[in-house]
Amino acid sequence: MRTKNLVSSLTLGVALTAIPVVSSYGTEKQTPNLYELEGENVKVTYSTTSFDGKPRLDYEEQQRKLQFVGDEIRTEKVEIGTLVTVTLYQKRDSGSATFSLLLPPVSLTKSNESKIATQGITTFSRFSKIYESNHGQTKFYTITPLSGTAKAVAF
C-alpha cells in the first residue's frame, strides 16, 4: 500500500498520525522531518512540517507544556547544524527566555529513523527599565543534553 493512497483515503473525524516514509528502492537517503528528544526534565518534539504544512514544536518541562506553530518557530542553519528557537516567555520589565534546539545533520536510509544525541539551550535574557542597571552579562545559558530519534515521516 502506498503512503499517498493511504493518506488520501483518510476522512475527517479520523485521528491522523504521522506515517513512516517507506523508500521504494531502499537506497535513497532521507532527511528527517520529525525529532523526538528527551533530557533531564525536558521533552521536545519538533516537526519541520505537519498536515497543514506548518512546522510544530512541543516543549514540555516539569510544570508546563508549550506548543509552538509556524512563525513562532525560528530556524537558522549554522555550521554545526540547524538551530530551532522558540520564545518560552517574555516580560517587559525583566527579560525573556528562549529555548534553542541544536539539530545535527542526519542522513537516513532504509529504516527512515536514527538515534541522535544533541543539546537544548535555554537562554535567559536579563534587562532592566533602569538604564544604569543594564551592565555586565545580560544573557545566561543552561545546556540540556538531549537524546532520541530523528525520523522521516509523511504527514
Domain region containing 139: 29-154
Inside any domain, residue 2 = no
* pTM: predicted TM-score of the whole model, two decimal places: 0.78
Inside any domain, residue 22 = no
State the residue for C-alpha cell 516580560.
91
Provide the CB-side half-sphere exposure for 89 (13 A, CA). Answer: 9
Inside any domain, residue 1 = no
- Report residue 30 as a C-alpha cell: 532521507
Inside any domain, residue 9 = no
Tell me whether strands 139-151 and 113-126 are parallel, antiparallel or unpaired.
Answer: antiparallel
Please state the domain count of the chain. 1
Longest dimension (CA), the chain: 66
pLDDT tens for the chain, 155 residues long, are 443 333 333 333 333 345 455 444 455 678 999 999 999 999 999 999 999 999 999 999 998 999 999 999 999 999 999 999 999 998 877 789 999 999 999 999 888 999 999 999 999 998 765 655 667 788 999 999 999 999 999 98
Inside any domain, residue 3 = no
pLDDT on residue 1 = 41
Inside any domain, residue 90 = yes
**For residue 83, what are the β-bridge partners?**
76, 102
Inside any domain, residue 71 = yes
Inside any domain, residue 6 = no
CA distances from 140 to 26, 60, 68, 98, 130 (A): 45, 20, 23, 11, 20
pLDDT on residue 146 = 98
- 6's enclosing H/E stretch is helix 3-9
Alpha carbons 33 and 21: distance in angstroms, whole number: 10
CATH number at residue 126: 2.40.128
